[in-house]
């Protein structure tokens, strides 16, 4: 009889914790507001380098990129050779920035462009819109927003 009571208490506790965590998740999704970006003309672009990048070359690329009008910030992953940068599309588009950067340093690189099937996607390109987590969070947002 004592074992049966302990099992009921353990199962009730686990269920209670699960219920509390589920309610916290739903409240968090319901109250999370979409990020409002003040500068609607800010865009992120990517350049893939096809050559090894050491620390000196990375600094040179950063310096050259920052000298191009419209470029706000940049991050270069030296191991993969991927450069991502934010720029103001009212000042310069990604092709113009790429052309100017390549002319400054004669780098072996190519500009990353989205595949056609991802161009008009409304969610993050890496997010699976068929997944349970995406559908669950979208459903909760629709209920409360």
Give the number of domains in the chain: 2
- pLDDT by residue (tens digit) across 17-38? 999 999 999 888 888 777 665 6
Instruction: Give me the pLDDT at residue 123, please.
Output: 59
State which residues form the domain around 26.
Answer: 1-32
Integer Cα distance of 65 and 42 in angstroms:
16
CATH of the domain at 75: 3.30.70.100
Domain presence at residue 79 = yes
Domain presence at residue 77 = yes
Instruction: Give me the pLDDT at residue 37, please.
Output: 59
Domain presence at residue 134 = no
Integer Cα distance of 76 and 99 in angstroms:
18
Residue 128 confidence (pLDDT) above 80: no
Domain presence at residue 129 = no
Kindly state the average pLDDT of the residues 2-6.
79
Instruction: Give me the pLDDT at residue 29, please.
Output: 83
107 C-beta neighbours (distance < 10 Å), count: 21
Instruction: Give me the pLDDT at residue 39, please.
Output: 63
Higher model confidence: residue 130 or residue 104? Answer: 104
Same domain, 57 and 91: yes
Same domain, 47 and 109: yes
Kindly state the average pLDDT of the residues 44-68.
91
Mean pLDDT of the chain: 85
pLDDT tier for residue 59 given thresholds of 50, 70 and 90: very high
**3-state DSSP of the chain:** CHHHHHHHHHHHHHHHHHHHHHHHHHHHHHHCCCCCCCCCCEEEEEEEECCCCCHHHHHHHHHHHHCCCCEEEEEEECCCCEEEEEEECCCCCHHHHHHHHHHHHCCCEEECCCCHHHCCCCCCCCCCCCCHHHHHHHHHHHHHC
Domain presence at residue 130 = no
Same domain, 61 and 93: yes
Domain presence at residue 132 = no
User: Would you mind telling me the total number of residues written for the chain in this entry?
Assistant: 145
Same domain, 105 and 51: yes
């Amino acid at each position: 009889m004592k074992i049966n009571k302990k099992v009921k208490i353990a199962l009730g506790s686990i269920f209670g914790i699960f219920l509390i965590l589920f309610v916290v998740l739903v409240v968090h999704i319901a109250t999370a507001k979409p990020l409002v970006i003040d500068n609607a003309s800010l865009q992120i672009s990517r350049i893939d380098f096809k050559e090894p990048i050491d620390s000196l070359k990375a600094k040179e690329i950063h310096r050259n990129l920052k000298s191009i009008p419209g470029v706000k910030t940049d991050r270069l992953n030296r191991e993969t050779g991927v450069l991502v940068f934010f720029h103001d599309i009212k000042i310069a588009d990604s092709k113009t920035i790429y052309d100017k950067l390549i002319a400054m340093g004669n780098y072996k690189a190519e500009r990353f462009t989205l595949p056609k099937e991802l161009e008009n996607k409304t969610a993050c390109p890496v997010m699976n819109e068929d997944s349970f987590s995406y559908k669950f969070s979208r459903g909760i947002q629709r209920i409360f927003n």
